[in-house]
Structure 1
Amino acid sequence: MIPDLSNANIYIVCGHTDLRKGVDGLAILVTEEYKMGVFDNALFIFCGTRKDRFKALYWNKSVFLLLYKCFENGYMQWPRDRSEIRRLNYRQMSRLVNGLAIEERRTIRPIIPRHVY
């Protein structure tokens, strides 16, 4: 039942969202506050005040899917600017929902070979 999201438009609603909202409440939030279409092959991800859980809303051409995930250990690194929706690619979304930072930080620097004479 999990949709293939590799070609979907993926958005995170930054800031806090009331996660008590269901499908209708989240769809109204997207259409009225952000002026976006919920039927446009888009996945919208919402986070509440606690960063250890999120909800996602997706229209699969016949019904809405409301996905919910709660981390037992750890939390997400969630942008808190409430006034924006941020677009993600599939890889960034995968990192976010697995508890990693959206942007990969390079910790390994490439080795620059030195000429030894």
Structure 2
Amino acid sequence: MLSLPAGTRIWLMAGVTDMRNSFQGLSAKVESTLKASPFSGHLFVFRGKNGHLLKILWSTGDGLCLLSKRLERGHFVWPGAREGRVFLTPAQLAMLLEGLEWKQPKRINTQRLSIL
């Protein structure tokens, strides 16, 4: 898991992104579609057409990082919207990166255990 500075926001870019894009292409998409700066320190997450490839654009202050992950089986859970952005918590990002359902996770047991 990434260790993110306090105040860092995580944004999913809704819809499909051409995964041939690298730093410049993804930065341009952040600026034109989200009206945000790719150098803000926030994370911008993109998913490819088939849903098994994901890229994250992140500025660390001294440069841009481009992280990618490919699932060998299955696909990344993605919102149904075709455009815009979706805010994620760090916990939801961790679930997304594991290929888990992050949109509506449920607690299995809400009762506290009592230790005698």
TM-score interval w.r.t. the shorter chain? 0.7 to 0.9
Letter in 1 for 2:32: E
Match for residue 48 of structure 1?
Answer: 48
Structure-2-length-normalised TM-score: 0.84
State which structure, 1 or 2, has the greater radius of gyration over its C-alpha atoms: 1
Deviations 1:50-105 (CA, angstroms, capped at 9, x unpaired) = 11111110000011100110011221111131221111110011111110111343
Q: Is the 8 A contact 1:44 1:56 kept in 2?
A: yes
Identity of aligned residues (%): 28
Letter in 1 for 2:25: G
Match for residue 69 of structure 2?
Answer: 69
| Contiguous gaps of at least 5 residues in structure 1 | 112-117
C-alpha separation in 2, matches of 1:110 and 1:26: 41
Match for residue 100 of structure 1?
Answer: 100
Summarize the Cα distance change of 1:96–1:3 in structure 2 as closer, same or farther, 3 Å threshold: closer
Moved more, 78-87 or 9-18: 78-87
Letter in 2 for 1:4: S
C-alpha separation in 1, matches of 2:21 and 2:66: 11
| Contiguous gaps of at least 5 residues in structure 2 | 112-116
Q: CA RMSD in A?
A: 2.0
